[in-house]
Amino acid sequence: MPKRAQKEEAVETGQQQVEPVRKKTKHGGGVTADEAVKDGEAPPAAAAFEDTPDNVLTGDGKWSDLTITSWNVDGLRAWVKKNSLEWVTAETPDILCLQETKCAEKQLPAEVKDMAEYPHQYWSSSRDKEGYSGVGMLCKIKPLDVTFGIGVEEHDNEGRESDKLSLPISTSISWSLYTCRILAGACSSGDRPGFTAEERQGFGNVLAEGFIGSYRHLYPDTCHAYTFWTYLGNSRAKNMGWRLDYFVLSKALLPHLCDSKIRCKALRSDHCPITLLMAM
């Protein structure tokens, strides 16, 4: 398959485009960034990613009036102790979606429950395994309707879905039922998290139903834009990661899309937050 066709296919299925960055050596050859890391060297500067200034206008000039932030916090209580709420206050999203809270609602930190700017909070945690998974949604304005779970007991008990924000890959659902939706969160398999063929296929199935990955829609050629880095091997400093966190929109919402951002400098979890700007 020609290189250009491969790139277009990868964008369609939500895959990341990471061109090997070559570094000259004293012998006149080159090594990739991955090979450099194996040798104990930092990757070349070209492997770095810098977030650009926010675009607050739609294509037809409408101003952004809705901001949604999604963050896989890898444990809410530990995340709070890292002064993460200061970051949230500075970002000031209208809706804050949290994943992997790993605590029951009765164990929520007081600092979170008492946030005056988010009086409307909705939490879902695992009923079968304490300290496992869990999601939450915090809103400045009360939603018109809130639905917990997806009607599949096997998955509803896990605390992985709340308010139609995310769905397990194995769940079969007719996405055409929802004509105007935003799907926010980290797209990974519960028992085998990673950039697996199963997860990529599951995400591709969502896009095949007519949904759009907001970041790749706006930035089709941007490389090294990741949202997750393992704690092993100093991966974050070397920017060796995966883009696991997404905002997925129905096509009806594309005219309202201003920007989709990766806040890669927020260091309080193995995931960084992502933020969506919409003009509604």
CA distances from 280 to 63, 211, 251 (A): 9, 18, 14
DSSP code of residue 68: E
Is the residue at 248 inside a domain? Answer: yes
Is the residue at 113 inside a domain? Answer: yes
pLDDT at 195: 63
pLDDT at 204: 85
Is the residue at 54 inside a domain? Answer: no
Is the residue at 41 inside a domain? Answer: no
Is the residue at 227 inside a domain? Answer: yes
pLDDT at 221: 95
pLDDT at 165: 36
pTM: 0.74
pLDDT at 157: 53
Domain at 113, CATH number: 3.60.10.10
Is the residue at 174 inside a domain? Answer: yes
Reported residue count of the chain is 280
pLDDT at 42: 44
Binding site membership for Mg(2+): which residues? Answer: 72, 100, 270-271
Binding site membership: which residues? Answer: 72, 100, 270-271
The single residue listed with the structure tokens 């409307």 is 120
Is the residue at 27 inside a domain? Answer: no
pLDDT at 152: 59
CB count in 10 Å sphere of residue 114: 10
Q: In the chain, which stretches have pLDDT less than 50?
A: 2-46, 159-179, 189-193
Q: Which residues pair with 124 in a beta bridge?
A: 135
Q: Which residue range(s) make up the domain with 184?
A: 66-278
pLDDT at 153: 63
Q: pLDDT tens for residues 74-109?
A: 999 999 999 999 999 999 999 999 999 999 999 999
**Angle at CA 18, nearest 5°, toward 243 and 185?**
10
Is the residue at 29 inside a domain? Answer: no
pLDDT at 208: 87
Dihedral sign for Cα atoms in the order 269, 134, 78, 232: negative
Number of structural domains found in the chain:
1
